[in-house]
Structure 1
Amino acid sequence: MLTYTCNISGHPNFYSRYIKMPSDKLLQIGNGYISKSDKADSALVCFSIVANRYSDNMDRHDKEMTMNGYIGRWYVYFFKFFNYEKSYESLLKAKHIAEDINCGLAHIDLNFGCMFQTLAEQCKDKPLKEKALNYYKKAFYESLKENDNNSLNMAFSNMVFVSFNLNKLHTIRNMQKHYAAKKQTEMTLYAHII
């Protein structure tokens, strides 16, 4: 397995320029770098600066910024550098912060589901696919609680796909009823397929 870890020591000007920026600006810059194939290391630096600012005595908003920094790190490590250990570690730290501030758990559990589903499909591993399904189910209920329609739609569509693949559509019948009752998006079509 090919893994990559960013070494910012060779870029002191880059680092010193960004270390003083506010977290929201760094997250914006990092998200801009993600779409550029040759800028993944720059995105990782931006997200890492924000994530490393975490402190127990921060206010809720600042903790949410650091949580988003860890989510950004997860994305770069997982999808750009294929460093699954570091991606898992980053997502786990984001989850601890989300639990602390009671915000964003649906989105994070969606990412866990995505991670396990991707690995399951690469390895043809059924237990990993079942783990992905369980995370999608958690994300579904958390998104209902958080009133997060984007995560709700993604969780439901991923649950349909994975549960169908596992021949376990019957396990999401109750969720289908909750989803159909929402009737707030065009994704409701999925609810009627099952």
Structure 2
Amino acid sequence: MRTVPPLVAAYLADLDRRLSGADPAERADIVDSVREHIDVALDELEHDPTGDDVRRVLADLGTVDDVVAAWSPDTPPLPTVRRSLTDSPVGVVLVALGGLALGLVLAPVSLVLLAIPAAALVLAIVSSVGWVRRGTHWKSWRTTFVLTVPVLLVTGFVTVALTAVYSSSESVGGDPQPIVSVPSTP
């Protein structure tokens, strides 16, 4: 179990103080819900949170006054953190298989439209940079990368293979000429 970062402990203590006039059971539910929301957001980082990570999660949540003001019977509870399809290994496999299927569908036209493998390569590079930088939409970039790589591999392979097949059947000076071998006589 992870220790609670000091910034989170201070935030939750301040929230508990600001809710001191509320029903004790309701106050405990609110603080527990906010704690759970923070824990989920920090768990999604997939690394030990830094001070900047904690500050970013708390900033996304809003000030304690914002949370207290938002918590009333007329407003819904805090939004849950959105999960990505590629959060699980099964999801990664499913997205990669989808990319493989898409690559197979695009393969017949990849030789004619050499832009497909080139565009897939550019998209794979851009999405890998977005994924590594861990910006606001890094999970979307991860999903895009996992989907794009199989498309790139299949269309690139088909393009290279078909290019090799077509270029080996061509001859210099027009139509291919049959090779006739005449047996040598002693």
Structure having the higher Rg:
2
User: TM-score under structure 2 normalisation?
Assistant: 0.24
Higher helix fraction (1 or 2): 1
